[in-house]
Structure 1
């Protein structure tokens, strides 16, 4: 039986589709698996009962802890008189290159990798540029503005992600997703209010206007890079994306560090403690970059950004135990609000959550069948329930 609309149109759950052309089998399996999964969304809480929901919530908190770790090590470095934002991030891109380039060469081979560079190299360069500059200008903002203003500007990255996802990637947000984002932002607002009440806003700003403009630029670049990376990891293997993010990141960040960090590098403190803090910073950031594609596949760039809001709470825990800060009673309230917002985000969602990407097609034919993708979930479901079979045997 040849290709027909029967493979892509509605089918009853549990129906087996037969194909004779092996080239059609994967597409047919995905179509059948997606329909089976979406048909299981019988209740508003269906997604909450899945492994994916708890995995994506946990991943978000691990990433928030990684960001807290990088901020903590950056504070240690600054306290020792070593403030080299571009140079200290360079090691992260070097480590990503050392880890993922050999993996990419193993799977693709030199010839195929060369073809990818010629075809898509400019796209990966843009992704790396947005990522490097987002890091740089966000750190730079803290030099000129106070902590309260810098944290407020973090909201702008969420706004950018939502606008870009809606206009460019054709994502259509449900009422629960909008409500979840607003609840999370409300929790962040409570956190900022407590900082203002206690005076823990970083003190007076050296140049508030300049710092706020840098922060706004950094948040915009972050939003752009997050959406772009979500698009990339839904279509390409994670090891490929991280390879090019690392390689181009080394080049871009290296040039930037050579230009802008020379004076800071010369006057910085260099000892064993600084070396240890740089190692800790690099490891936290490398783990963050390695896990981020999974949450972008299983969730979305919007969920990714609002998950990181809890990093401010984890930062307070570090501050209390490491820097001797006092915790305000509103901090737990803010944390609970953000977590509730993350849960609300998935209300009335399907069993696929945000893993089914609209830009990949109805049957995710434009995507890669990688870990965390809706395409792989659909294929596994179809094979497990024998929804698709060839005339010569099961697929």
Structure 2
């Protein structure tokens, strides 16, 4: 009994430390998941599989099956109008389409690194539409990130710099994809503040599945018929679906536990995982400019994250009936998206 009491007292005294360690561990799971799904998409691209919407379809199908079942069991009305979710899903599908498509033209390293561009888009969108005001240091941090990404562009512009058939075009696709992801993130932030994460994920899965089905019928039927299916391609498809479902499930949780600071810092390691994958599995040399770019992006994100303020929630309403909590930053902000990458 005495030993158990001591253990309980130690856990109570170090509860905050345990929470931080758990959140860091969770962040690394997300980071590794992002890197492995990027590897899966890159592998399929090298095998001539060019069906990005179909890949996303299985992700949305998994989310709809798991979280939709929970919603049916609850039998509760939606807290957010369905058309918000439909628009959110459409934007998210387009982001996934362009993101996966980019692996056909550029390297996995470039794709994961340029995914950091979402922070810039989120800052712009929240400033324009949500009235968010950032600190000077947050702008400086974001600017440093852009400088780092420019080094990655410079690497891809050199001969053999980034790998892929058209690295600059692939980089452009990723940048446009991050714009869609930013729109999706801001929309998800808008919806998730009513504190029902299950509803948001399930509706994103349902409408994402419907949008994907329509685009597959219109644009990808011939590409699907041209695929030479094999056991490894099927396994990679399944692995991609499982990984992305896990990613979509865990990102809202880590935001609820710690906010964007630890999330952004954790996601950084996915870039290093991608470098390891590129070296070990593709046996490619990584241009030294990538390491410079990564270091600069790390510095920029650390500056950005270290200078964000603690948010305070307030309530607002949509269509006169929906209560949603937004975050207000202490001295210099109204509402905060916390500069997150995609959930």
Fold-level similarity (TM above 0.5): yes
* Contact persistence 1:149–1:212 (CA under 8 A): yes
Aligned to 2:236: 277
Structure 2 match to 1:116 = 78
How far has the Cα of 1:174 moved from its partner?
A: 1.6
Equivalent residue for 1:320, pick from 259, 268, 279: 279
Which residue is 1:5 aligned to? none
**1:252 matched to which residue of 2?**
211
* 8 Å CA contact 1:181, 1:306 repeated in 2: no
Q: Distance in 1 between matches of 2:239 and 2:316?
A: 37
CA contact (8 A) 1:198 1:328 kept: no
- The 1:358–1:342 alpha-carbon spacing in structure 2 relative to 1, beyond 3 Å, is farther
Partner of 2:122: 161
Q: TM-score, normalised by structure 1?
A: 0.65
Tell me the equivalent position of 1:70.
Answer: 37
CA-to-aligned-CA distance 1:202-223 (integer Å, 9 cap, x gap): 3553995xx7775554332221
Which residue does 2:191 correspond to in 1?
Answer: 232
8 Å contact from structure 1 (residues 86, 256) kept in 2: yes
Q: Is the 8 A contact 1:313 1:331 kept in 2?
A: no
Separation in structure 1 between the aligned mates of residue 316 and residue 158 of structure 2, nearest angstrom: 47
Report the Cα distance in structure 2 between the residues aligned to 1:216 and 1:342, rounded to whole angstroms.
Answer: 17
**Is the partner of 1:78 in helix, strand or coil?**
helix
**Aligned residue among 42, 55, 61 for 1:88:** 55
Question: Matches of 1:176 and 1:318 in 2, distance apart?
Answer: 33
Write out aligned runs for 1:1-12 (5 A). none
Q: 1:206 to 1:267 in 2, by over 3 A?
A: farther
**Whole-angstrom CA distance in 2 between matches of 1:283 and 1:98:** 13
Alignment pair present for 1:184 and 2:142: no
Which residue matches 1:134? 95
CA deviations 1:58-116 (Å, max 9, x no partner) are: 6555434322212211222223332211111111111111211122233xx32x2xx32
C-alpha RMSD over aligned residues: 3.7
The structure-2 alpha-carbon separation of the partners of 1:192 and 1:317, relative to structure 1 and needing over 3 Å to count, comes to farther
Unaligned 5+ runs, structure 2: 1-15, 318-322, 329-343
Question: What is the aligned partner in structure 2 of residue 223 from structure 1?
Answer: 182
**Secondary structure of the corresponding residue to residue 367 of structure 1:** strand
2-side partners of 1:237 and 1:124: how far apart? 13
Correspondence 1:1-395 to 2 at 5 A: 61-106=28-73, 109-110=74-75, 112=76, 115-116=77-78, 120-141=81-102, 143=104, 146=106, 154=115, 157-196=118-157, 199-202=160-163, 205=166, 208=169, 215=174, 217-297=176-256, 298-300=258-260, 308=267, 310-350=269-309, 352=310, 355-357=311-313, 366-367=324-325
